[in-house]
């Protein structure tokens, strides 16, 4: 595993643009996979995203800026905990909190998974720093199961576990189990199905607090755009739709942190890896603009 992440930095930036002290963006690779239930390979997602970023132009033609000039520091990857997903989430929460508790407000931590089961860990940590935190959850699946395949810390339980820390608003959902549907109705969980999210973006934003953590499962995108994911669901968002939605969020809310999860890179198709790398870079750019860093 150490060899996979040796000598890598997002965008391949030189030392003067990737130092821990000067960088506004800090990337934490979390190559963790323990509960995937259909496709497998998310453990290689963080490296694939970083690899793709090495071949990406750092000048953003849409925002007309070089976001990398703000500095992007790639932290050492998180060692998986072998005792199970519950212990992994606990350890990850403490690890992330140690990082963000020392970070000033002009720095953003970005977690790169790995499977979606990791997300409750960072959310717990960010909740400690931002007591009025809410989560904007992008996903094809509701992820509201209380337990799945013998564990309440499955990737299929990610939103349910995040709800134990703070409010969660889910967007892009187009797959839900009977038990999840009952729970969502009883708890009045805020779910915006694929089409309704775009039609009600102001409503989505109104349900979020000022301080927002974004948890983005790449399967929110249509499989024609994102085939490299464990459980692809048809009729998803386009890359452009997701970019536009993220821009609207950064314009109205204070994005304090985020994760991107569930990329399963395929050797025969590098396009999705590149799409995720550029999506992340575009989101960094929107955050920089909203915070007037540029």
pLDDT for the residue numbered 67: 98
Residue 71 lies inside a defined structural domain of this protein? yes
**pLDDT value of position 1:** 58
* Residue 2 included in any domain: no
User: What is the distance between the alpha carbons of residues 81 and 87, in angstroms, rounded to a whole number?
Assistant: 7
What residues are paired with 258 via a beta bridge?
110, 214
- What is the domain extent for residue 133? 10-290
State how beta strands 59-60 and 65-66 pair.
Answer: antiparallel
**What CATH number is attached to the domain comprising 26?**
3.40.800.10
Query: Nearest-CA neighbor of 229 among 265, 280, 175, 194?
Result: 265
Could you give phi then psi for residue 151, rounded to 5 degrees?
Answer: -140, 135
Amino acid 100: pLDDT: 98
> What is the pTM assigned to this prediction?
0.96
Task: Measure the CA–CA gap between 70 and 293, rounded to whole angstroms.
Answer: 8
Residue 1 belongs to a domain: no
Give residue 199's pLDDT.
87
- pLDDT above 90 covers a percentage of the chain that reads 87
pLDDT score of 104: 93
Cβ-proximal residues to 131 (8 Å cutoff; 6+ apart), any chain: none
Residue 4 lies in a domain: no
Q: Does residue 78 sit within a domain?
A: yes
Which helix or strand (DSSP H or E) is residue 214 part of? strand 211-217
Tell me if 132 is assigned to some domain.
yes
Q: Does residue 5 sit within a domain?
A: no
* Structural domain total, the chain: 1
What residues of the chain score a pLDDT lower than 70? Answer: 1-7
pLDDT of residue 106: 94
Q: Is residue 94 one of the residues assigned to a domain? A: yes
């Amino acid at each position: 595993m150490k060899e996979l992440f040796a000598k890598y930095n997002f965008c391949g930036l030189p030392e003067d643009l990737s130092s821990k002290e000067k960088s506004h963006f800090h990337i934490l690779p979390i190559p963790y996979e323990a509960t995937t239930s259909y496709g497998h390979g998310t453990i290689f997602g963080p490296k694939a995203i970083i690899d793709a970023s090495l071949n990406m132009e750092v000048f953003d033609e849409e925002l007309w800026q070089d976001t990398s000039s703000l500095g992007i520091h790639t932290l050492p990857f998180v060692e998986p905990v072998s005792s199970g997903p519950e212990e992994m989430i606990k350890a990850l929460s403490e690890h992330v909190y140690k990082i963000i508790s020392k970070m000033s407000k002009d720095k953003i931590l970005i977690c790169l998974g790995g499977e979606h089961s990791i997300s409750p860990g960072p959310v717990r940590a960010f909740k400690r720093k931002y007591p009025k935190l809410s989560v904007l959850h992008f996903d094809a699946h509701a992820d509201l199961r209380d337990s799945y395949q013998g564990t309440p810390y499955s990737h299929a339980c990610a939103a349910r576990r995040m709800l134990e820390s703070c409010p969660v608003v889910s967007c892009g959902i187009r797959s839900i189990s009977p038990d999840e549907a009952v729970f969502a109705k009883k708890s009045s969980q805020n779910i915006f199905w694929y089409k309704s999210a775009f039609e009600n973006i102001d409503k989505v934003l109104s349900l979020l607090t000022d301080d927002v953590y974004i948890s983005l499962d790449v399967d929110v995108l249509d499989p024609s755009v994102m085939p490299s994911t464990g459980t692809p669901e048809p009729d998803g968002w386009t890359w452009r739709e997701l970019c536009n939605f993220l821009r609207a969020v950064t314009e109205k809310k204070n994005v304090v942190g985020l994760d991107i999860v569930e990329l399963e890179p395929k050797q025969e198709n590098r396009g999705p890896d590149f799409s995720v790398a550029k999506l992340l870079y575009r989101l960094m750019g929107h955050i920089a603009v909203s915070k007037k860093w540029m």
